[in-house]
Structures are given as structure tokens and as C-alpha cells.
Amino acid sequence: MNSIFQGLSAFPLTPAGPDGRVDVAALGALLERLVDAGVDSIGLLGSTGIYAYLEPAERRRAVAAAVEAVAGRTPLIVGVGALRTDWTVELARDAERQGADALLVAPVSYTPPTEDEVFAHYEAVAGATALPVCLYNNPATTHVQLSRPFLGRLSGLASLAAVKMPAPKDGGFREELEALRAVAPPGFAVGYSGDPATVPALLAGADGFFSGIAGVLPVPMLALARAARAGDTETAARLNSAFEPLWGFCRTHGALRVAYAISRLLGLGAGEPPRPLLPLAAEVQDGIAGAIGQLPGVRG
Amino acid sequence: MNSIFQGLSAFPLTPAGPDGRVDVAALGALLERLVDAGVDSIGLLGSTGIYAYLEPAERRRAVAAAVEAVAGRTPLIVGVGALRTDWTVELARDAERQGADALLVAPVSYTPPTEDEVFAHYEAVAGATALPVCLYNNPATTHVQLSRPFLGRLSGLASLAAVKMPAPKDGGFREELEALRAVAPPGFAVGYSGDPATVPALLAGADGFFSGIAGVLPVPMLALARAARAGDTETAARLNSAFEPLWGFCRTHGALRVAYAISRLLGLGAGEPPRPLLPLAAEVQDGIAGAIGQLPGVRG
């Protein structure tokens, strides 16, 4: 397999003011840090990149700034999910025109959609772009549950090249990877997200890992992901133990809020989460400072 | 109690083209029909009014058209829910300025919010308007579960005057009404939604019912709601039996898709649902035609 969706994809926060205006200079600096660290790809405007909370015009500004800042040094995957099919198609075309290397499309929902509706949505978006598309399967935010047979059906769409899965509830990565690969075409990449699952997912043979924490801690996350991808179970387990306090905060507060706290602790300039989301309480931020203090290369 | 949120509130579809442009003439005609029928209030831009699928500018156009068409003859409640707090505040202020009589605010979510985040959101919106606000508790679309103690906390906000509840899963309307009234201030209205629950909710003493089907079938829904509100169990049960085939379609396909089918059958001009939502299959539409054929005053 040779896929843009392999390896560790770092999902940066999108720095923005309280009015939702993207701070393109701060975004450029965040991205420079990810390129320097050597992440395998950048996942701009994912859930960690607060795509759902940004006006289309601000999403376009973020893409333009990212294409300029990254300048082809690292593959750039852009999240173009939106509630309406026409909005999504427009964002996809725009990201392609601006120079994105791949797209990430979540089935954002309000009225719960049927499978036929989700399929027609992906068909329209996949038909509107020549870029490889990753299906962003994130039921915690989209509330759309995609069954395995239905994932198989979707994976047959020409542009669909990968899926970003949530960690399976029962922890059975190997079984799920096998089942998904059985229903998807050859070369279709299966990656995972949900930072505490980085090591088990990659040790089980996932093609990639999509990480919000790598957006703020690229160097330690790369060490973790590389050990796991290489099958170095001992190093991966040792590093994972060092991450465990941070995983605890992610499980309790969500990786997005934790990433904002880390940005604040490291002075990365991402600002505050978009209201209604609130910054974590001072004592939780202190706990996160302690949790990342022992990680290697935190300021890398 | 003397509340704008009492009685039957009819939630019209918002007629719009495939590009999401609101058809204000068709909207005016839909609203005229609701005023003529004598519904107790109109719930503009609810879930049935596809508020989540419309650009802010189109939502403003819909409010302007509705205020003009209704011209004070029927109380007008406007849905101003949005993902960001500042977007919601802006929509609330705009609806008030344009002449809405009350607001409906759903805790729209992407990243699952904490209770403190939801509270701060409502605090900001309630503080930005002098209009009475109804908390739109609709976990099937917002995915925010509001516990009873938390509903009690929210109901203490000055502008919060009502809650629109989903039908309780166990069917215990009386028990739930009693529990909610125990935690809310006096005069706080408790209404329900989910059309098949109209009769049980109102017979149990709910202050109001918020109905998507009443947006397209105001006359038969008023007959149903009035019988139930009057405690006329025999008439309510007889009418409810006549509605049962329609409730079956609502349970299977959702009231929104069913309302679009009824609009098409009656030539109400609401157009098609916003993609990714799709019109129901022809045979389902035929079934809905049969289900509404026996209701009194369908074309009223």
C-alpha cells in the first residue's frame, strides 16, 4: 500500500479569535512545528481543527494559509465535512483548487440520515473531486453509525481511499481490521483515532493513526506511533505508560479540550475553544502540565 | 398559566430550493393556512423548518417573511439554535428585532458539551433577548441529554419560559410532568413533541404540543389536540386511531420526511428536503396518501 492516509496524521487546532476569525499567522506557526517534527501528514480542519465551528469563509482562509505554510513539505489532508451536500461539495472543490492533497469527509448530521442518504452524500462529494477522500467515521460527533457492510459499500466509491475509525468499544482492533479489509477494495486504508488508542491500533496493524494530540505534541506522539508501527512492543508499551496520565485527561475531558490546554501551556497561540466549549479549569490544566512534563520532546 | 408556549404549536416546513434559498412566497402561503386553521402558535424554523440546513441570511429572510405574513394574528416562535454561542446570540437578537414573539433554542452540538458549557450557552442567549425562550430539548438531533436536575437549573434563567420535551421512552408523561414541574419555577411551561405522542402528552396535562405534522395538517391536528387538551378521552382516542397509520410512517421515516411527502401530496409547495435528506420513495408516498385520506379537514 502507498497511501497518503498511512502513518501518523497530526490534527492541529485552528487558532481563532472569540469571533471565529482564524489567526493565520498562529496557524502557520503550528503547522511549521508539525512539518519540523516530521509527521506523516497533517489533518487540517478535523474535529480538533474545529471545522464545525468555523464559517465557510474562515475554513477557506485556513486552507489557503495552510497550503502556503506547509508548501508541499508534508501531505495536507483537509476536512470538508458539512451538514448539507452542496456545502460539502463546495468546500471539497475549493480545498482541491487551493492545493489540498486529500480530503476528510464526516457525515455531519442533524436529522438522522438513512444509509441511502449518506451514500448519496458521499457519491456526490466523491464525484466532485479528483482527490483521495477519507471517510471520517466519528459517531461521537456526527451521531451516524456506519455498519461494516455499509462501510464496504461506501469504500467502493471511486475517490474513497480510506476510513478514519473510532476505537472499537471492545478493543478488538485486529478483528475489526480484518473484517473491514474483507469488505473494502485492495489498497483501501484503515486508520484509527481517539488518542489513547494509538498504540493498540498501530500494533494491531492499522494503516494510520489520526491524532489530535499529535497536533500539539508531534515529537512525543511520533516516537509513540513509530515504535508501535515498527512492532516494537516494548518501547511502545514504555512510552504508552508515560502517556497514560494524559490519556486519562483525554478520556475525561475529550482530546479537543486537552489540546487547547496544551496549546496554552506551551504558548502555541491557538486561543480558546469556540463557545459554547470552555477552557478547562485551572486545576485540570495544572494536572495536564504534570502529565506532559515527563514526555520526551514536548516542546519539539 | 398564561404562556405563549401553551396549546398546539404548528411547525411549518421552510420551502426552499435545492440551493437552500428560501421561497418566501410559498412560506407565506403555508403560514396563512396555519393562521386560518387557528393554531395556538407557529414554530418557525424548528427542526421541521430545517433551520439547521439554512444559511443565517436565509433564516433571516424566513423570519422577515413570516413576520409580514402572520402580521400578529398568531404568536410566532422562532428557532434560533446554532452550534456557536455567538451565532445563536446574533440570530436571537435578529429575530427579536424583526418581530418574533418568542424563541426556541436547541443545544446544537458537535463536540459533546458539558453541562457547564450548555448552561453558559443558554445564559448568554437568554441574556441577549427580552423574549421568552423555550429550551428545545431534542436529543435525537442535538445529541445532548439534559437531566432533570439540569433542566431545573436551566429553567431558573430569567428568559427561560418553557421546555419542549421529547416523548419519554417509557411513556410516563404524568410522572415526568410532575417531576419537571417540581424542579422548574411556577409558570414554566412543559410541552412535548414527536407527533405520535400528541394525545398521551396532552391528556396527561402537558401545557403544549409542538407538532411538525400540524405544519402541514393544521385542521386535523387541532381537532386531535383540542380533544386531548379538553380531556375528552373518547374523541381523542377515536381521532388518534384515525391518525395511527400516519404515526406509523412518522415512526419509520421521521416526521420531517413525512411532512415533505404531505406537502407534495397537497401541493403546498415546500419543495424537497435539503440533501443529504431525500424525498421518500413513491410507494411510501402512496402509503402516506392513504393514511391521510381519511382524516377530517386535510385540505383545510
With a CB cutoff of 8 Å and minimum separation 6, the contacts of B38 are B218, B222
Q: Choosing from A51, A122, A136, A192, which is the catalytic residue?
A: A136
User: Does B276 sit behind a cis peptide bond, omega within 30 degrees of 0 on the bond before it?
Assistant: yes
Question: Cβ contact (<8 Å) for B86 and A18?
Answer: yes
| A51 is annotated as an active-site residue | no
CA distances to A132, A201, A203, A226 from A198, in Å: 23, 5, 8, 10
Nearest chain B residue to A50, by CA = B111
Provide the grid cell at A105: 469527509
pLDDT computed for residue A220 by the predictor: 97
CA distances to A173, A247, B60 from B26, in Å: 52, 53, 16
What domains are defined for chain A?
Answer: 7-231 (3.20.20.70)
Tens-place pLDDT, residues A212-255: 999 999 999 999 999 999 999 999 999 999 999 999 999 999 99
Tens-place pLDDT, residues A118-170: 999 999 999 999 999 999 999 999 999 999 999 999 999 989 999 999 999 88
Question: Cβ contact (<8 Å) for A275 and B86?
Answer: yes
Nearest chain A residue to B125, by CA = A276
Q: Are A216 and A250 in contact (CB under 8 A)?
A: no
Contacting residues of A for B278, CB less than 8 Å apart: 114, 116-117, 120
pLDDT computed for residue A172 by the predictor: 93
Instruction: Name which of B48, B63, B17, B83 is nearest B275 in CA terms.
Output: B17
pLDDT band at A58 (very low <50, low <70, confident <90, very high): very high
pLDDT computed for residue B2 by the predictor: 83
Q: Count the neighbouring beta carbons within 10 Å of the beta carbon of residue B289.
A: 14
Contacting residues of A for B18, CB less than 8 Å apart: 86
Burial class (CB in 10 A: 0-12, 13-18, 19+), B90: middle
**What gap in Å lies between CA A65 and CA A175, rounded to an integer?**
40
Q: Are A58 and A23 in contact (CB under 8 A)?
A: no
pTM: 0.96
Instruction: Name which of A91, A98, A21 is nearest A58 in CA terms.
Output: A21
Q: Choosing from B136, B169, B192, B260, which is the catalytic residue?
A: B136
pLDDT computed for residue A180 by the predictor: 96
**What gap in Å lies between CA B81 and CA B57, rounded to an integer?**
14
CA distances to B2, B21, B82, B189, B199 from B5, in Å: 9, 29, 21, 7, 17
Tens-place pLDDT, residues A79-127: 999 999 999 999 999 999 999 999 999 999 999 999 999 999 999 999 9
pLDDT computed for residue B97 by the predictor: 98
Instruction: Name which of B85, B160, B140, B124 is nearest A277 in CA terms.
Output: B85
Residues of chain B with pLDDT under 50: none
Instruction: Name which of A141, A86, A135 is nearest A110 in CA terms.
Output: A141
Mean per-residue pLDDT over chain B, rounded: 96
pLDDT computed for residue A296 by the predictor: 81
| B164 is annotated as an active-site residue | yes
Pairing of strands B41-44, B7-10: parallel
Model ipTM over 0.85? yes
Contacting residues of B for A90, CB less than 8 Å apart: none
Tens-place pLDDT, residues A27-43: 999 999 999 999 999 99
Crossing angle of helices A85-98 and A56-70, in 10° steps, is 20
